[in-house]
Structures are given as C-alpha cells and as structure tokens.
Amino acid sequence: MSYQPPIDYYQQPERTGNRGLGAGITSIIAAVLSPIAAVVSIPLGIAAVASAMSGYNQGNDAWWFGALILAGVAVLLAVVAVACGLIAVFRAGRMNAGRITGIIGLAVMAVNIFGVVFMVFLVLGAGQGN
C-alpha cells in the first residue's frame, strides 16, 4: 500500500511577489516624460513659425518635423502611461506595490493630460498658417 499525502500538500503557495510593479513604474516614467516632450515641442513650433515668416529660410521644414515628432512622442507617452497604469492596477489583484505605482502613474497622467493636449494642439495649430 502506498502513502497518499493530504490534498493540502499539493496546493501552490500564495504568490508574494509584486505583480504589476514594472508596469506601474513604466506608467510613472511615461507620465512624467510626456509633458516634457510636449513642452519641448512648443519652442520648435515657434521656431518653425519664425522661420516661415522670415524670408531667409524658405522651405525649411526641419523645425516642423521636429515639433511634430515631439508632439507625437508626447501623445505616445501619454497612451503608454495610461495603458501601463491600467495593466499595473488590474494585474496586481490586491493592494501591493504594483497597484500603488499604477495608481500614481494614472494620477500623474490625469493631472498632465489637459496640458499635453493643449500643447499638442498649440503646435498643430501653429502649422495651419503655413
């Protein structure tokens, strides 16, 4: 006759790791970098307007490309911040470091989102005059 261990012997122990922590940290970093990219795109947009107004640099679109690329990076970072924040919050399952960092990343992006949108529209609107 063979010995059968009790059923509790086979159950996996509960996970003690910080699930979602990486996504939460990514959310915070992206939420901080997004408005920085948007703010940097404004001087490039202003330089593009000044370049177009002066007669010396006709056809110089490098300023516009730089401003539009940075505005796109700001929008991309905003999307990454929100997506990673949501992943961290829902992946954590319970209140741990992953969920807390996800909530912080979402909160920072919630504060920044209107400023980022305003700055991106400012850069895009400045290009309508050309």
Contact 98, 17 (CB under 8 A): no
| Integer Cα distance of 104 and 25 in angstroms | 9
The alpha helices in 62-96, defined as continuous H runs, are 62-92
Residue 80's nearest CA partner among 112, 124, 53, 123 is 112
Give me the domain span that covers residue 64. Answer: 19-129
Contact 42, 68 (CB under 8 A): no
In this structure, is residue 119 part of a structural domain?
A: yes
pLDDT of residue 111: 86
What's the total number of domains in the chain?
1
In this structure, is residue 49 part of a structural domain?
A: yes
pLDDT of residue 17: 67
pLDDT of residue 30: 92
In this structure, is residue 3 part of a structural domain?
A: no
Residue type, 24: G
Q: Which two tokens stand for residue 43?
A: 């001087």
In this structure, is residue 9 part of a structural domain?
A: no
For 59, which DSSP code?
T
In this structure, is residue 2 part of a structural domain?
A: no
pLDDT in 10s for each residue of the chain, 130 residues: 567 766 666 666 566 667 888 889 999 999 999 888 888 887 877 777 776 666 666 666 777 788 788 888 888 998 999 999 999 888 887 778 888 888 999 999 888 888 888 887 877 776 665 5
In this structure, is residue 87 part of a structural domain?
A: yes
In this structure, is residue 43 part of a structural domain?
A: yes
pLDDT of residue 80: 92
In this structure, is residue 10 part of a structural domain?
A: no
Q: Which two tokens stand for residue 17?
A: 């790791």
What number of other Cβ atoms are within 10 A of residue 107's Cβ?
Answer: 14
